[in-house]
Structure 1
Amino acid sequence: MKQIEIEYKTLLSKKEFENLTQKFSTVPLITQTNHYFDTKTSHLRKAKLSLRIRTFSDHAEMTLKIPQEVGNMEHNIPLSLEDAEQMIKRNKLKPNAITQLLEDSGFKIDSIVKKGDLTTHRRETLLPIGLMALDENHYSGIVDYELELEVSDPDQGKHAFEQFLAQEQIDFKYAKSKVARFTQSILKDDA
C-alpha cells in the first residue's frame, strides 16, 4: 500500500501529556515498537529515507518513507508477527516489495541492519479535524511526549492543529520525526 502522509506534531510537557491523557482516557492504549533499519554507515538516512518494521501485539508492518514536496510517500506492507520477529532477531530482511524498491534504488539489502528500537504507548482517535495520536515514546533511555495530527489537506490541517493547541492551552514545541529523534539519540551514544 502506498499513501501520502501529512501530519502536524508538537512535543508535549509531561503536564500537557497528562492533561490530554485525561481528555482521551476512553481511547484504548496501544503499544507499538518501531524497529529502525539502515546501513551501518547510514546510507538510507543520508538519502532521506526511513525504513522500519513496526510490531504490535498480534501483527506487524514494514514501512519505507520517502520525502515528498508535501509530506512523505509511505510504502507499507503487512507482515506476520512471526516474520517480523525473525527479521528483527536475525538482523536480516526477507525479500518483499519494499526491499525490491530499495534494491531498485541501488541499496544492497544485505547491508541493511537494525539500528535500534523506539516503543510508543499511543492513544489514537479519529476526530473531525483528522487522526489524532497522543504518544509516550521510549528510546535510548529517553522518554518524550508528543501529539500528532494526520490530515489529508495540509492548509486546513495546519489551521485545525493550531486551533486545537490554542483551545488546549498547549505551547507548540517543534518535534522532529520519531526516527530523527531516535537517530539523534544513538549518534550521541556513538560520540
Structure 2
Amino acid sequence: MPHESRNPLSRLDPHAPLVLDTRALSRQPGSERKQTLTVPAPADLGVELLGVPEGTDIELDLRLEAVLEGVLVTGTARVPLVGECARCLDPIASTHGATFQELFVYPDTRSGGNADDDELRLEDDLIDLEPVLRDAVVLELPLSPLCRDDCPGLCPECGARLADAEPGHHHDVADPRWAALQNLTDDGPGHRPEP
C-alpha cells in the first residue's frame, strides 16, 4: 500500500503575482519588510451579484514580519468591484478596502509540524497570498448589494424601475382566486333583475 502524505507536495510558482518570497527576512524574529504591490485579480473573486473583475488591478500594502513560528503578514487590499443591484438590477461599480492578518508557519518548526489543515504554511520560504486575499475580500461583500440604501427595486407587475416610475405607480390586478365571481356582475350571465 503506497504511503499517502497528509499534506500533498505542492510547489508554488515564485513568479505568480500573489506568491511572495520571504527569504529576505532570514527567519530572524523581529525582522520585517514592507511592500506595496499592484497585482492582477484572480478569477472568481466575489459573490454572485458583486465581484472583482478578473485581471483588474488590486493594490496591496503589506508588512511581512518574521516571528518564531513563521511569517506574520498584515495588509490592506483595494479592489475594484462591479456587479448589479439586487433590487433594480442596475450596474454597480465601486472600490472596496479589505484588511487581513495571517500567520504562515514554517513547516519545520514544532507548530508547523503539528499544524492543522486550515493553517497556512510557507513552502520553500514562499507565501501564497491568494487564499488570504480571497477570504478578506469575499467575506466582506454583501450577498445582496444595493445601488443605494433606499433602492425601491422593480415593479412586480410590469418590471418598471420604481425609482423612475411616477409616484403612486400601481396596477389594478384582480386576484385570480376571485375570477369566478366576476361573472356575477350586473351584466353577467347569472344576473337576476330586481323585482
TM-score, normalization by structure 2: 0.31
1 or 2 for the larger relative contact order (CA 8 Å, sep ≥6)?
Answer: 1
The structure richer in strand per residue is 1
- Answer with 1 or 2: which has the greater Rg: 2
The structure richer in helix per residue is 1
TM-score, normalization by structure 1: 0.31
